[in-house]
Each structure stands twice: as C-alpha cells, then as structure tokens.
Amino acid sequence: MSRSSTTDFGDAITDRLPRPVPPFARAPVLVLAALVTALLVALSPRYDLVTDELYFLAAGKFHPAWGYMDQQPLVPLLAAFLDTAFPGSLVAFRLPAALVTALGMVVTALIAREFGGNRRAQALAAVAYPLSPWLLVNGHWLTASTMEPLQWTAMLWLLVRWVRLHGRGVRRDRLLIGIGLIAALAVQTKFQVVVLCAALLLGVVISGPRAVLARPALWVAVAIPALTAVPTLWWQAANGWPALEMGAAVNAENDRVLLLPVALFYAGVVLGAVLCCYGLVVLLRSPALQPYRFLGWTVLVVLVFFVAGGGRPNYLAGLYGVLFAAAAAGLQHRSGKILWPVCAVSAVLPLAMLPVYPLDLLARHPEIPNYPRLYETGWPELTSAVDRAYESLPPEQQRRAVIVAENYYLAGALDVRGRASGLPGVYSPHRGYWFFGAPPAEADVVLYVGERSLAAHFGRSQQLGTVRSELVNMARGNEITLYQDPVRPWSELWPRLRTF
C-alpha cells in the first residue's frame, strides 16, 4: 500500500504522518524516574498521614462501600489493604504514590517518542513531569488525585500509539481495549475521567482520525468502564447522587477565573507552564503532529468544561503529560542551552515544598516558611486531647458517648488514630462522612470536636478543652465540647447538621 493511498476506513495516509518512532531514551528516562522514586520513598516516613490519606483509609477500612460522595472505591480499598498488610509503615503505604509518579514520567517520555521526539525530547518531557509542583508533591500521598494523572496519561499514550500505527496501516485494536481497562480503573478512582473520554470522542469527531469510531474494539473499550461503574452508579442513585452535590460544593470553593492560571502554576512555575502553552499550540498547529490534532481539541474541551461547569485546577493535571510531550517534540531541534537552565530554576519551588525540615526544627524556628508546616498536621495532639476528654467522663456517660467531628479530616484522624487508643465511634456531618451514618439512637452524650456550636440542638453543653500544639496545623485550636440530651432523635438531627 502506497503512502498516498487510503485505509479501508477512509483516512488518508500521507507523508506527513509520523515515521517509525525514535529509539526509547531508556537510560536517562529510567534513571530520572528511579531518582524521583528514591526521593519520594526516602521522604515518605518524615511526616504523618495527611488529611485525605486519613479519610481514604478510614473510608476503606471502617466504611467500605460501592461509592462515596467525593471519590470512588479504588483508593480507599487500596489504602485499607496497605494498612492491613503493612501496619504502621508509612513507606509501604505511600510506595504506590511514588511509583505512580515515576511511571507518569516514563509514560510521558513514551508519548514524546510517539510524537517523533528524539532522546533529548523524551528526557525533557520526563524531567518536566516531576518539576510540576502538583505532580511531585502529590507523589508523597496516597490519594485519588495522585492516581488520576497517570491513568489519564496512560490512556492518551495508548491512543496516540494506536493512531500512529493505524496511519501506517497497522491495526492494533488491543490498544483500544487497554484504554478501556485503564478507564475502568480511572472511573473507580474519580468520575472526572468521563469528561476526558467525552472530550476525546468530540476531538476525534472534529479533526479525526474518525476511523477509530468504526472500530468495534473502541466500543468494547467504552463498555468496560461503563459496566464496572454500575455498582458505583447504583450507590449514587440510591443516595440521591451526592457526586452532583460535591460538584456544586467544589464550584463554590473555586474561582473560575483563576482555574487556568492556577493550573499552569501547578504544571510548573517556569518550565511546566511554558511547555503546557507551547504543547497546545504544537498539537493544534504543527504539521508534523497533524494526526494528533484531536488531542489539542481534547485539551480545550476539558478546560472549557471545568471552567464553565466548575472544577479544581488540579483536575487538569492529567493533561500535563501529553502537553509536555508535544512541547518537547516541537522543541527537539532547537538549542538546549536555555532549556536545561530553565529546568534547574523550575526545580526550586517543587523541591522547596518537600518535607525536608525536621519537625523539631520548625518548632524552634518560626521564621521558616509556612509550607513545610503543612506536613505536620497535629493528629497526635488531637487524639490525646480527645482521649483526655473522654477519660474525664463518668463510666455511665462513656458507655453512651460518641465523637462527632466538625469536618471530614478531623473525623478521619480520630477514626484511624482514635480507635487504636480505645475511643468510641467517630461521626461527622461533613461531606462524604455524613453518608457513613448517624450516631446510634441511644447515644445521648456527644464529644464534639470543632468550632461550630451545636448548643441549639442539645439540652446541655460544657466546654472540656482545646486542642493545643506547638506548631500551626489543622488540629490546633479546635474546641472539645460535651453535649448531652439531644432535643431531637438522631434520625431528624443528622440531616439538620449536614454541611458541605
């Protein structure tokens, strides 16, 4: 078949289509990925579990379900497994996050290779990935937002590879099935992958290759995540579609005008932001990447959706890899005298955000910038304060007592840390924790942790103390209040206490 002929699905094959891919830059890419993995693993035991990690662990270990208000079951179940298999090991608990970050680097380099990028381009794309403050810092934590970028990047890599091979007359429809399998994992991580899939289909309709729409494997790939999502969708329907409520809460928390600037900041203060912008231009305008123009449209559709519908800037992080790769491929024939110094400058912020400061040093030197303190969350002080308040109660009150935390991160910390010290059940009316259930009907003694007053809902109240800590953190300053004799049964009171 000549290079000017057409495939049996109507897409012209021209000389502008990519030639066979360059060799994979195995040594530099894998060495860089190994160094990032080693760095993240070495730093992982330096600080306690952060808010979302505690929430995911509490959800998977104590409240397993087919779905949740603000995320899906995959990461909670993984967190529960790791905590059970390696109890107390922060290294083991956070190892998947480090590996996911390193794999994101490798897959980004592979996309650059598919775009025709040489070894230097592949290395640049791989370097840009961990120089993103969002991607590197999230590489410390086992959360859904850590897993999602790799899932999106891997799906895009397989689709780019299918398009390149199809353009050369080679059918590899198993790549489409692979996309469906990864999408099945992604939809059990966060629902945002549905936006990516819809944007990809729209991008293909706009600019091709429309031949993919005629492939049965594509629709098998669509069916795989759709079928695996049935239990989660059933849970959502049975609970009034709380994911939509969560979307409204996220929209209220974020400024749409700032979504794109903050997303570029997350991509990288110097290098990442420039590569994202240039990568989009390359995808939309470069003749060499014309077969992949649909990816440029995909980026625009996803951006418009989250700006118009409401979203967080990190929802765009799954697109960083393909934009880095396109930009690196577009820059491969230009001098690298400026690029590598720019990489060094761009490394300052993400590396400065790593938890390299000992906690006792932070306590002695308040002049150290605030962002390292984010890793010291005060959970031991919180648990100790609540434990002292609980122990101060008479035995008959202890038997009827429950703990209610004002928000999900206090509840997650007390659920995970408090159970080990013998505290009673923990509840919270905040966001996803509300769906874990109300306190039992016989619970008429409440230890409330937070700043909100519930005095109007109880007959008696008494402040028992305040959580104190040497460092500024999320636990410090929360009051512990004893409430007794609820004026309504919990079945009526719980909906009234619900907050987003």
3-class secondary-structure state, position 319: helix
Indicate whether 231 pLDDT > 90: yes
Give the model's confidence band at 237: pLDDT under 50 very low, under 70 low, under 90 confident, else very high. Answer: very high
Give the mean model confidence (pLDDT) for residues 388-405.
92
- Which of 68-82, 117-131, 406-420 bottoms out in mean pLDDT, i.e. has the lowest? 406-420
Give the mean model confidence (pLDDT) for residues 63-69.
92
Give the model's confidence band at 233: pLDDT under 50 very low, under 70 low, under 90 confident, else very high. Answer: very high
Indicate whether 326 pLDDT > 90: yes
Report the alpha-carbon distance of residue 11 to residue 9 in Å, rounded. Answer: 6
Sign for the CA dihedral angle at 320, 323, 324, 325 comes to: positive
**What's the pTM?**
0.90
Indicate whether 362 pLDDT > 80: no
What are 421-445's pLDDT values in tens digits? 788 889 999 999 999 999 999 999 9
Report the alpha-carbon distance of residue 84 to residue 233 in Å, rounded. Answer: 28
Indicate whether 125 pLDDT > 70: yes
Indicate whether 351 pLDDT > 50: yes
**pLDDT for the residue numbered 2:** 37
Give the mean model confidence (pLDDT) for residues 132-137.
92
On the CB side of 53, CA atoms within 13 Å amount to: 22
Give the model's confidence band at 10: pLDDT under 50 very low, under 70 low, under 90 confident, else very high. Answer: very low
Indicate whether 470 pLDDT > 70: no
Instruction: Report DSSP letters for 193-217, one per residue.
Output: HHHHHHHHHHHHHHHS-GGGGG-HH
Indicate whether 330 pLDDT > 60: yes
Give the model's confidence band at 228: pLDDT under 50 very low, under 70 low, under 90 confident, else very high. Answer: very high
**pLDDT for the residue numbered 317:** 96
Indicate whether 282 pLDDT > 70: yes
Give the model's confidence band at 418: pLDDT under 50 very low, under 70 low, under 90 confident, else very high. Answer: confident
Give the model's confidence band at 364: pLDDT under 50 very low, under 70 low, under 90 confident, else very high. Answer: low
Give the mean model confidence (pLDDT) for residues 36-54.
90
Give the mean model confidence (pLDDT) for residues 160-169.
88
Going across the sheet that includes 445-450, the strands are: 426-427, 401-405, 445-450, 479-486, 458-466
Give the model's confidence band at 4: pLDDT under 50 very low, under 70 low, under 90 confident, else very high. Answer: very low
- Angle (deg, nearest 10), helices 293-309 and 256-267: 130
Average pLDDT value for the chain: 88
